[in-house]
């Protein structure tokens, strides 16, 4: 144990709060907060530019605790610094409705920039923060006024580095030269199973040097060394920096420090008493912090001063560059341009008038090209599939060549791409979209879940949406993925059937500020469907009557995407045969079920039990709409390798199958 431990009252306050809160909750991870307390004190008290009185100050530095299991570290820092996080909140650690959840949750307490817990995603989010800062600065800063100028700091541990997403994100960060990203690696050599050298023997320094990072080494308990390394990291403006901090997990606990015993379990009352003694902590009362330590930590006055200085700087910026200032303010507020609705509706009408039969991936590209010129906040990208996802447009500029660009070539990094996009969205000033084949959403699945959990406006463009992609075979043909996305809370899945529905999907995704949206798009051409103005307006409700019944309503066909064309062909045959059938196009089931009961009843009358759903995906999802008495035309197996037409016939997803299913019910 470092001999100076009893001379570190400010850092020890973090240790005290961490071990007391975990003990009271009888749950948690005291080791990381205790081991990183010295690093945290230097960063938060000497370098971090923030304001506890306004956690959302636009030009604040961003801090990410990627090793989110050590959540008491950030809670202690927020509490001690003067954020709206009381001692009662600390005492309520890990309890129901607490601000101090088991892992840091964005939106629960001021000052938590992102939700962390799934290891590796926090550092990927930090890359997104740094990317957003660099790009926004390039778009708005002037030679005489750098109005956007802040750092992103991240703490991370062995687990973050073992997770593959950290490789994806940190590799790209080095390539993009994100010089204002500084990460502190808690190199304590311990994980839940014990000493990591048996399963994690990477040369982390060489790994990050190969990425193009500056790598520095310090004793994680030598505050002078930490201070010097931070200064050196800030001086390097062309590379992100990794400061490898050799630490002792659970420092301060005489019998458990340096061992897995303190990683994920309370220390115990007896050990806490010994730790207090080792730290020279006089008061044995749990959670008791002396007033002089609170005063030393209090960052509110300094934070107000920093923000006031920036506000004065912004006033000068506004006077000299009123147009840019207004645009920056709008973008940071998350508001769309005032004329967005008009522009989008005009484009939707133009699509309807043109009546093109094209793939919905192409319809999506056309929508981007039509809407993006009016949306400078768009920051798109694809995981090495831009030519297949069709996400590039005439105004796209790659950030790798243009600092003020609006497009990111993510490379084959689906998980990293999506987690980085979450960070971009959280930073503010941008609406990110990502793109890959729908099948490879699986690589990004947990980051998509985090978008939904954090209520972030991230738009996912997923093309090659079904067996319709053809010869690439079952490894590339999604079957269960759309159902998985639809079952994700606070997430909207759009599977449009033509150009008009695709344009509406883009409009709604851009307008949805508190949830991510995924656009599920076809490789193959899809037939245009004629609509009335009323039908076009109803697309935004997620489901609507596309083709009405002739005479008494006997059956309903529900379809999405490429299968709407099959449903419409079946409608004609059945109508000619005297069957009263309607077709319901349901491009977004999650929105449809949120409509009023009267509207849902008008589209799907409950008295009509003869219902058939058709979608080239897993069948189980559709029972909620057709009931156990209805029929579903879809997939119950994986796909095969063959031309699309042959596959639809092989798996029985045909007009004839829909017609036969309806007839069997009526």
Q: Is 440 annotated as a binding residue?
A: yes
As a whole number of Å, the end-to-end CA separation of the chain is: 80
Whose tokens are 């990004």? That residue is: 444
| Sequence-distant (≥ 6) Cβ neighbours of residue 606 within 8 angstroms | none
Q: What secondary structure letter does DSSP report for 47? A: I
Between CA 524 and CA 73 the distance in angstroms is 51
Q: Is 177 annotated as a binding residue?
A: no
Q: Is 464 annotated as a binding residue?
A: yes
Give the closest residue to 134 by CA, choosing from 106, 167, 171, 173. 173
Between CA 294 and CA 284 the distance in angstroms is 17
Q: Is 158 annotated as a binding residue?
A: yes
Q: Is 361 annotated as a binding residue?
A: yes
Strand partners, 635: 618
Q: Is 533 annotated as a binding residue?
A: no
In 119-180, where do the E strands start and end?
152-157
Between CA 75 and CA 80 the distance in angstroms is 8
Cα Rg of the chain, angstroms: 28
The length of the chain in residues reads 666
Q: Is 646 annotated as a binding residue?
A: no
Q: Is 542 annotated as a binding residue?
A: no
Between CA 12 and CA 551 the distance in angstroms is 79
What is the dihedral angle through the alpha carbons of 605, 610, 614, 619, rounded to the nearest 10 degrees?
100
Between CA 29 and CA 192 the distance in angstroms is 10
Find the angle CA(342)-CA(513)-CA(529) to the nearest 5 degrees: 50
The DSSP string of 415-427 is HHHHHHHHHHHHH
| 414 is a catalytic site residue | yes
Q: Is 457 annotated as a binding residue?
A: no
Between CA 596 and CA 602 the distance in angstroms is 10
Per-residue three-class SS string for 80-108: HHCCCCCHHHHHCCCCCCCCCCCCCCCCC
Q: Is 263 annotated as a binding residue?
A: yes
Q: What is the H or E stretch that residue 226 is in? A: helix 223-235
Find the helix packing angle between 71-81 and 9-25, rounded to 10°: 120
Q: Is 97 annotated as a binding residue?
A: no
Q: Is 337 annotated as a binding residue?
A: no
Q: Is 117 annotated as a binding residue?
A: yes
Q: Is 182 annotated as a binding residue?
A: no
Strand partners, 633: 614
Q: Is 429 annotated as a binding residue?
A: no
Active-site option among 414, 501, 565, 615: 414
Residue positions annotated with a catalytic role = 414
The binding site for Mg(2+) comprises: 158, 188, 190
The binding site for thiamine diphosphate comprises: 69, 117-119, 159, 188, 263, 440
The binding site comprises: 29, 69, 117-119, 158-159, 188, 190, 263, 361, 388, 440, 464, 472, 476, 523
The binding site for substrate comprises: 29, 263, 361, 388, 464, 472, 476, 523
């Amino acid at each position: 144990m470092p001999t100076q431990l009893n001379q570190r009252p400010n850092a020890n306050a973090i240790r005290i709060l961490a071990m007391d809160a975990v003990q009271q909750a009888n749950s948690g991870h005291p080791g990381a907060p205790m081991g990183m307390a010295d690093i945290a004190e230097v960063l938060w008290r000497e370098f971090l530019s923030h304001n506890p009185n306004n956690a959302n100050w636009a030009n604040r530095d961003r801090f990410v605790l990627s090793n989110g299991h050590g959540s008491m570290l950030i809670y202690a820092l927020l509490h001690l610094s003067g954020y709206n996080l009381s001692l009662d909140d600390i005492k309520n650690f890990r309890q129901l409705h607490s601000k101090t959840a088991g892992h840091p949750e964005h939106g629960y307490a001021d000052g938590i920039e992102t939700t962390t817990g799934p290891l590796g995603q926090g550092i990927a989010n930090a890359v997104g923060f740094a990317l957003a800062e660099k790009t926004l600065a390039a778009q708005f800063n002037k030679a005489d006024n750098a109005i956007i100028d802040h750092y992103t700091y991240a703490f991370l541990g062995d687990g973050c580095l073992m997770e593959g997403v950290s490789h994806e994100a940190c590799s790209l960060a080095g390539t993009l030269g994100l010089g204002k990203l500084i990460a502190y690696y808690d190199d304590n050599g311990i994980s839940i199973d014990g000493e990591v050298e048996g399963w994690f023997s990477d040369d982390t320094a060489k790994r990050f040097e190969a990425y193009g990072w500056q790598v520095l080494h310090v004793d994680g308990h030598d505050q002078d060394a930490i201070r010097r390394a931070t200064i050196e990291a800030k001086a390097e403006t062309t590379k992100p920096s990794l400061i490898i901090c050799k630490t002792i997990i659970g420092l301060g606990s005489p019998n458990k420090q340096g061992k897995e015993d303190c990683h994920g379990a309370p220390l115990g009352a007896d050990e806490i008493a010994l730790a207090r003694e080792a730290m020279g902590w006089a008061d044995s009362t749990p959670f008791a912090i002396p007033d002089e330590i609170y005063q030393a930590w209090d960052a509110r006055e300094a934070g107000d001063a920093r923000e006031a200085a920036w506000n004065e700087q912004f006033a000068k910026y506004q006077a000299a560059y009123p147009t840019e200032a207004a645009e920056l303010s709008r973008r940071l507020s998350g508001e769309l341009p005032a004329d967005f609705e008009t522009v989008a509706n005009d484009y939707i009408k133009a699509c309807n008038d043109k009546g093109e039969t094209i793939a919905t991936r192409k319809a999506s590209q056309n929508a981007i090209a039509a809407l993006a010129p009016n949306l400078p906040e768009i920051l798109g990208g694809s995981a090495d599939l831009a030519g297949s996802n069709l996400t590039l447009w005439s105004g796209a500029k790659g950030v790798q060549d243009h600092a003020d660009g609006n497009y990111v070539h993510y490379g084959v990094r689906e998980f990293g791409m999506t987690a980085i996009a979450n960070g971009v969205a959280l930073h503010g000033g941008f609406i990110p979209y990502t793109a890959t084949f729908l099948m490879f959403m699986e690589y990004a699945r947990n980051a998509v879940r985090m978008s939904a959990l954090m209520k972030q406006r991230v738009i996912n463009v997923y093309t090659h949406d079904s067996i319709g992609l053809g010869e690439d075979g079952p490894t590339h043909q999604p079957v269960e993925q759309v159902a998985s996305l639809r079952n994700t809370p606070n997430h909207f899945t759009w599977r449009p059937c033509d150009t008009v529905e695709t344009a509406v999907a883009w409009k709604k995704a851009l307008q949805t500020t508190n949830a991510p949206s995924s656009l599920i798009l076809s490789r193959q051409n899809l037939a245009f469907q004629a609509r009335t103005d009323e039908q076009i307006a109803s697309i935004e409700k997620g489901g609507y009557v596309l083709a009405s019944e002739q005479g008494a309503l006997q059956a309903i066909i529900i379809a999405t995407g490429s299968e709407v064309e099959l449903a419409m062909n079946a409608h004609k045959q059945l109508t000619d045969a005297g069957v009263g059938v309607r077709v319901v196009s349901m491009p977004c089931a999650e929105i449809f079920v949120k409509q009023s009961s009267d509207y849902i009843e008008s589209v799907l009358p409950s008295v009509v039990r003869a219902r058939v759903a058709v979608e080239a995906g897993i069948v189980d999802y559709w029972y909620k709409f057709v009931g156990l008495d209805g029929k579903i035309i879809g997939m119950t197996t994986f796909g095969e390798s063959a031309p699309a037409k042959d596959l639809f016939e092989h798996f029985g997803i045909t007009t004839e199958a829909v017609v036969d299913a309806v007839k069997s019910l009526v």
